[in-house]
Amino acid sequence: MKLELHRIFVNKLAFGEKTGVKDGVLTVNKKELLDLISEDELLGKKLDVDLAMPGDSIRIVPVKDVIEPRWKIEGGGQVFPGMISDVETVGEGKTLVLSGAAVVTAGRIVRFQEGIVDMSGPGADYTPYSRTCNVVLLLEPADPNMDKHDYETACRTAGLKTAAYLARCCAEAAGAGLKADQVDAFQHPNIREAMTSHPGLPKVGYLYMLQTQGLLHDTYLYGVDVKKILPTVLSPLEVMDGAIVSGNCVSACDKNSSYVHQNNPVIADMLKRHGKDFNFVTCIVTNENVTLADKRRSSSFATKLAAMLGLDGIVITEEGFGNPDADLIMNCWKAERLGIKTALLTDEYAGQDGASQSLADSCAEGNACVTAGNANEVIVLPPMEKVLGFPEEANVIAGGWQGSLAADGAITVELQAITGATSELGYTKLGAYTI
């Protein structure tokens, strides 16, 4: 498979008469965009669109998802397959990417499992989305008593449609004369070729755990709720081209947004090292489950696939914490006992003092583990000049508490409340060093 990402760099947003991009400025026709998302009868009449750029004194709360604007300009299906386009395989052809831009959906869905994005101040140092130029959708249901699943579906669809609309308008405006600021080309062999490539290098795979515990803890693969599948093999280029979409209402700090799936840094780094340090054979997508029987089934199936492919090692990433820790550890020890070396990526919930047990489960085999930080660390977010959304949600967001929101607009919360703060894919602004 061969995929080209044609990147147009966006460093500023503005409202205007025609949606398009020029000289790094993404102009958005607000009325046209509102008309597009208001076609969904599940959404109310109080819809709004606003803009937030790096350095602005703006707080966005409660954040549901973040999506990178993209549009297929040649071959290989269309963006967000199975969600807003036909179910055709992606991962090939040419895709237009508005790099530096993002669509942020904000709405009170589950309330305690949305997040906060500050565009400046100390909070901005913890979220990667303080660096993106954000088109913010403020979404409310048509009926305040609407089923939360319907409301989440409406918000998810609105975000995806907006991301596609922005990139499509830019592609159509440029027409045949479209010139990207940068073209990133990727190739990845089929499994038959991969198995005989790079003799002497270890065969390595990526075991990609997706949050799928139901009750609005959902992720979608080609439009299919992943809790309904058995672990399966996927080309890394399919992931990079939008095959996986977040539908999650989980703690903000380690929620893998759609943007992170589109820009998975684990895949990007493994592709860079492919053919040099190891032979990157494939991705194995698996789910995170509720019952012990389902955990056993998925972990056995995922590690069986790794063994059948003759993998020497796998990188395993988690999404979420607590219950999913059991899936992570089960995947780890089952792979190790099959002779497959593992490296784990997770985050920690070690208490505000850092002294508590970091994971809900562990095993002796899990001796190669990368942490994305302690989500219980407390931070004070100063007041912002402008708030997009509902600031009072800080009192109920996971990581906050009644009284988190001060009278002057300051918020005291754990990192758990900040969107993307401890991303278990490593898409975060936190770092570490050895002492």
* Residues recognised as catalytic: 249
- 49 within 8 A of 19, measured Cβ to Cβ: no
Strands 369-374 and 70-74: what pairing? unpaired
List of residues 6+ apart from 122 with CB closer than 8 A = 379, 380, 381, 382
Q: Which residues pair with 232 in a beta bridge?
A: 285
For 179, the token pair is 């010139």
List of residues 6+ apart from 84 with CB closer than 8 A = 157, 160, 161, 164
**How is residue 141 annotated by DSSP?**
B
Instruction: Annotate 251-283 with DSSP letters as a single string.
Output: -GGG---HHHHHT-HHHHHHHHHBTTTBEEEEE
Helix axes 323-337, 292-308, angle to 10 degrees: 40
- 59 within 8 A of 34, measured Cβ to Cβ: no
Cis peptide bond prior to 62, omega within 30° of 0: yes
Backbone angles phi, psi at 124, to 5 degrees: -65, -25
Q: How far apart are CA 269 and CA 271, in angstroms?
A: 5
For 26, the token pair is 């993404």
